A and B are shown apart, each in its own frame.
Chain A
Amino acid sequence: MTALVLIESEHGKIRQASRSALAAAAQFGDVDAIILGNEGIDAAAKLAGVRKILHVPALKSALAEPTAALLASLSSSYSHILSAASSMGKNILPRLAGLLDVQPISDVVKINDEATFVRPIYAGNALATVQSSDTVKVLTVRGSSFDPVAEEGGSASVEVLEAPAEDGKSSFLRLEQTESDRPELEVARVVISGGKGLKDESNFHSLLEPVADKLGAAIGASRAAVDSGFAPNEMQVGQTGKIVAPELYIAVGLSGAIQHLAGMKDSRVIVAVNLDPDAPIFKVADYGIVGDLFEVLPALEKAL
């Protein structure tokens, strides 16, 4: 069996979530990786355990339509086609599955055998074991559930592929990015997240950032905080935001709705700061402080 993994790069490196997908793929047999655009090709060729890199320079904006078509044209050589359960993977892989008329399997957290997988359903309130009868299995995998392959140690060959002709039905206009020097949310060792309790955008920055700086933490947010404009959408943690499992997760002024817990309850150690002793977040927290975040956060910054 051979697996093909659609991988992503960022600042010339291969994203950790993609390296986790490669680790998952290695459970099936040989692994090839496919990478779009012109960034990260050298890094890809060094990844541990990859047999061959398929490099598609033309598809740099990773539009779903041509990318899925290309993957479909390659699918007969593979038993499994995977990616990280990233926004890119979730956009493209189900479309590939649609072209192949197979049932994709999203957010895999465990591989039992080549056809049997575990995935969370109902915002992580249940774990489903599912078995696929498709000849090509199309999966997205949760980065936090598989230890990534090493960045170095491999020596894959690189083969350049032409992209299929574009049908002109979709075009990329722009990407609006928020630049940040902080560690990436999904791979940070420490995450501090703020909720509606921070009251406004300026508090969100002035209270969370000094603590995050001391801990080298990434900053996350609840949906209510994002909806209220305290933080950009890519900081949202939860069922519909990012899934994180850091060593330490500090939840400040957020209630702990099940949709938020879905994104962080696999963190190793959880700390909660909330005025309300009955807030559901305390049910999952290892350490809680019942108190006013406007006092607790400055004190925490000092104590660190």
Chain B
Amino acid sequence: MKVLVPVKRVVDYNIKPRVAADGSGVETQGVKMSMNPFDEIALEEALRLREKNQADEVIAVTIGPQVAQDVLRTAMAMGADRAILIRTDAEIEPRVVANLLKVIVERENPGIVSMGKQAIDDDMNATGQMLAAKLGWPQGTFASQVTVADSKVEVAREVDGGTEVLSLSLPAVITADLRLNEPRYATLPNIMKARKKPLETIEADSLGVDLTSHLKLVSVAEPPERTAGVIVETVEELVEKLKTEAKVI
């Protein structure tokens, strides 16, 4: 069974994003970019399936500009066998990402698409569910545990009320939550080896998918700033202020 892992190149999670002065978006020029943290987890899970002999090939795929191949090299350094760059300079919304991924899924026929539950730039949390819908596959979103057995996968999901467990027939789409695993680091020898692994580039506009967005970004603004308040010396002073000044207790 193949496992396909869509990975996105995003502003590193340690960087505090800055809104561009003209309100057109968030500054990405000269900012450290990394693989979306949830996608590292999704990739780690795929690698573990291969290590347990439940998968035989792990393929990383990204949709983005030429530089997005960085995250594919990282994915291969972590252990992915090969990678596909679907190249475009256009801003691609999750709906279009799902449509493009569908074409790749139909070509590669994976048993599992293992992806992040959300990209930490757009925070949309939608692409996996949309892809599953378009493929007519079952979905196991926000996964904190994945067990494959007998052409089925059992997925424990983090939900508002606790943990829900589903059984899905394969093929299926799984989206990773933070507690699914701890992703490994790419070691230097593996980074070297990854340079020789196959990276295929496909032009996004050659796949017969309409790349235009249905959702237009009108503007981006800073959220209202909170200002630091006061440091109080004692618990009594705190309680007093909460009662008489803030009037919350």
Seen from chain A, the residues whose Cβ lies within 8 Å of a Cβ on chain B are 10, 63-65, 68, 86-88, 90-99, 101-107, 116, 120-134, 167-178, 190, 215, 223, 226-227, 232-234, 239-240, 242, 247-248, 258-259, 265, 268-271, 277, 282-290, 296, 299-300, 302-304
Contact = CB atoms under 8 A, between A and B. Distances in A.
Interface of B: 11, 13, 16-17, 19, 26, 93-95, 98-99, 117-118, 120-134, 136-139, 141-142, 144, 154, 157-169, 172, 177-179, 213-223, 226, 228-232, 235-236, 238-239, 241-242, 246, 248-249
A234 to B, nearest CB: 6
Contact of B17 (A93, A122, A259): A122
B235 A286 contact: no
Given A234-B160, A288-B231, A240 B220 contact: no
B133 A98 contact: yes
A233 to B, nearest CB: 5
B165 A129 contact: no
B248 A233 contact: no
A288 B169 CA distance: 51
Given A122-B121, A269-B242, A87 B133 contact: no
A91 B141 contact: yes
Contact of A103 (B120, B215, B236, B242): B215
Nearest to A68: B133
A86 B94 CA distance: 19
Nearest to A186: B160
Nearest to B226: A284
Q: What's the dominant secondary structure at chain B's contact region? A: mixed
Contacts of A248: 242, 246, 248-249
Contact of A169 (B26, B168, B248): B168
A125 B14 CA distance: 13
A288 B231 CA distance: 5
Contacts of A303: 235-236, 238-239
Nearest to A281: B228
Contacts of A290: 231
Contacts of B179: 226-227, 233
A132 B177 CA distance: 28
Given A106-B123, A171-B166, A284-B228, 5 more contacts: A95-B130, A98-B95, A240-B117, A288-B228, A299-B235
A150 to B, nearest CB: 23
Given A87-B159, A123-B123, A125-B17, A288 B232 contact: yes
Nearest to A185: B160
B123 A88 contact: no
Contact of B229 (A121, A174, A287): A287
Contact of B142 (A87, A101, A268, A282): A87
A173 to B, nearest CB: 4
A141 B51 CA distance: 40
Contacts of A178: 162
A88 B172 CA distance: 19
A234 B162 CA distance: 6
Contact of A240 (B172, B177, B228, B242): B177
B88 to A, nearest CB: 17
A101 B94 CA distance: 11
